[in-house]
């Protein structure tokens, strides 16, 4: 929760006090209604209206905040860019309504799959993003693979029939030793996403793991399984 969200939440939880000391106070009702309207407006500003997850505007704000947090704490921030494979074919064959259903379906899967601290967003069109705070590349890879597998194994149902979906993913990671902007981090992840598309789709592309990436025993096992499956590709 951001500082602004915490402040808004605090105000929402604090009961208003009638300035004239009345038990049944019209001013209190008006203040409560204004607070509710403010909460709804705040949600609309940061939420994608179709999918219900964070929108592009909030994505940029959240990623900027996580980069600043990395600069203060030294803990890396990772970014996964996700694109639905052959989405145009879905629209052309089934129509835009089914295309919208596919976007909603993927958004719900992302919310179910990612960790509580991660921030799933709709970047635009059929492209999505997940911000992973306090996460180095080695820890990001298992999350990305869960996303890839989860979507592949959960087809959208259309007219009672399964409509298979797959995604391509690109990963970039920001550390406090880099002089990288939000735009640079997104561009790097997008470049790896493009490589995933060029490599046959339904896979993950990322930079080479380095000594900077701290790998735990569990992560080593996960990485071994990932590399063995042939679903991840290194630069």
Active-site residue numbers? 126
SS3 content of the chain, % helix, strand, coil (to 5): 50, 20, 30
List Cα–Cα distances, 208 to 1, 60, 136, 137, 203, in angstroms: 32, 26, 12, 9, 16
Taking Cα atoms as reference points, which of 77, 56, 57 lies closest to residue 67? 77
What DSSP line would sit under 85-147, residue for residue? TTHHHHHHHH-HHHHHHHHHHHHHHHHHHS-TT-EEEEEETTEEEEEETT--HHHHHHHHHHH
What is the Cα–Cα distance from 135 to 51, expressed in whole angstroms?
A: 25
What is the Cα–Cα distance from 38 to 7, expressed in whole angstroms?
A: 12
List Cα–Cα distances, 68 to 22, 61, 130, 135, in angstroms: 46, 11, 17, 14
What is the Cα–Cα distance from 214 to 140, expressed in whole angstroms?
A: 12
Taking Cα atoms as reference points, which of 50, 116, 215 lies closest to residue 130? 116
């Amino acid at each position: 929760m951001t500082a602004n969200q915490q402040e808004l939440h605090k105000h929402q939880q604090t009961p208003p006090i009638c300035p004239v000391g009345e038990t049944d106070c019209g001013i209190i009702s008006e203040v409560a209604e204004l607070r509710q309207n403010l909460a709804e407006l705040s949600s609309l500003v940061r939420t994608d209206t179709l999918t219900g997850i964070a929108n592009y505007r909030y994505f940029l704000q959240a990623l900027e905040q996580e980069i600043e947090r990395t600069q203060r704490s030294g803990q890396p921030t990772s970014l996964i860019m996700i694109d639905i494979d052959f989405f145009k074919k879905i629209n052309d064959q089934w129509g835009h309504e089914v295309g919208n259903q596919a976007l909603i379906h993927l958004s719900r899967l992302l919310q179910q799959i990612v960790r509580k601290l991660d921030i799933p967003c709709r970047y635009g069109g059929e492209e999505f993003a997940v911000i992973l705070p306090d996460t180095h590349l080695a820890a990001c890879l298992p999350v990305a693979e869960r996303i890839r597998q989860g979507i592949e194994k959960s087809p959208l149902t259309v007219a009672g029939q399964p409509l298979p979906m797959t995604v391509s993913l690109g990963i970039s990671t920001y550390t406090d030793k880099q002089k990288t902007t939000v735009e640079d981090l997104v561009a790097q992840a997008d470049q790896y996403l493009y490589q995933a598309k060029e490599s046959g789709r339904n896979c993950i592309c990322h930079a080479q793991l380095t000594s900077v990436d701290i790998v735990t025993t569990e992560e080593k096992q996960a990485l071994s399984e990932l590399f063995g499956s042939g679903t991840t590709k290194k630069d």
